[in-house]
Amino acid sequence: MLVADHLSFHYSRCDPGETPDFSFTFRLAPGECLAVSGPSGAGKSTLLNLLAGFLTPSAGRLCWLGDELCEGPSEEPSEELCEELGDRPGENEAQRESEDLVAQPPWARGMTTVFQDHNLFEHLPVWINVGLGLAPDLKLSDAQRARIVDGLADVGLGGLHDRLPGELSGGQQQRVALLRSLLRETRVLLLDEPFSGLDRDNREALWGLVRRQQAAGVAVLLVSHDPEDVDALAQRRLQLLDGRLVAT
């Protein structure tokens, strides 16, 4: 279970009132897909960046199956979270007061993020871009090479292994980026509008890959405005309003 308990943040360069004080509380089970929507500027990217560890919260806690990913210095955990973690309320209070923030770096969190921009390596061919998701040193086993070939075929890029990203359309680049993330061993997948601009066939193929991850126990947080994507994948949905996640 991924548990965010009053995970809080404020952009320090912003005046009070200019952006909300963000405070995120939710849980996400292994194999579950939670969809998050909200108006532009509501804080969806901020939420993903806090979960992934690219932003540092000012308070609150983030845990995966009792493993502390991030613990803020001042916030006392809710009774609900204590129950989940087997702590007693107040038990760690003295210790927490004397500590600074404890946060695991992004690479240690077991999370994979697919951003709206594709983040592909422009000088490397498609199959290597995908392979980097499986083995950063590119020492790929035969089984891993086969997964790349099968995965590229699954997302309709079967003949394009050796192309450079600049030789692909925007939608094709998006599929390469998504495939790279979906083939990675991960426990939480953070998806930021991952299917926008793709046609129905390609979206369905990618939904299939996400569902396969869920079946393997990967928890998915899907930021999307598209009701079809949400209906296809999400078991639960929340809205982001005024810096808080609320039931839709």
Where in 170-199 is the site for ligand ATP (CB under 6 A)? none
The residues with which 178 forms a beta bridge, in sequence order, are none
> Which one among 6, 10, 19, 140 touches ligand ATP, defined by CB under 6 A?
19
Report the C-alpha gap between 211 and 217 in whole angstroms: 10
In the complex, the smallest distance separating the C-beta of residue 237 from ligand ATP, rounded to whole angstroms, is 15
Task: Kindly state the greatest CA–CA separation across the chain.
Answer: 60
Q: Please identify, among the stretches 6-14, 85-93, 176-184, 228-236, the one whose residues bind ligand ATP according to the rule CB under 6 A.
A: 6-14
Report the C-alpha gap between 113 and 52 in whole angstroms: 7
Q: Which is nearer to ligand ATP, 132 or 230 (CB)?
A: 230
CA 227, 232, 237: angle at the middle one, nearest 5?
A: 60
Task: Lay out the site mask for ligand ATP across 37-66 (x = CB under 6 A, - = otherwise).
Answer: -x-xxxxxxx--------------------
Where in 101-130 is the site for ligand ATP (CB under 6 A)? none
Residues 194 and 233: beta-carbon distance below 8 Å: no
Cβ-based neighbours of 66, under 8 Å, separated by 6 or more = 84, 85, 86
In the complex, the smallest distance separating the C-beta of residue 193 from ligand ATP, rounded to whole angstroms, is 8
The residues with which 108 forms a beta bridge, in sequence order, are none
Q: Which is nearer to ligand ATP, 50 or 148 (CB)?
A: 50
Q: Which residues bind ligand ATP (CB under 6 A)?
A: 11, 13-14, 19, 38, 40-46
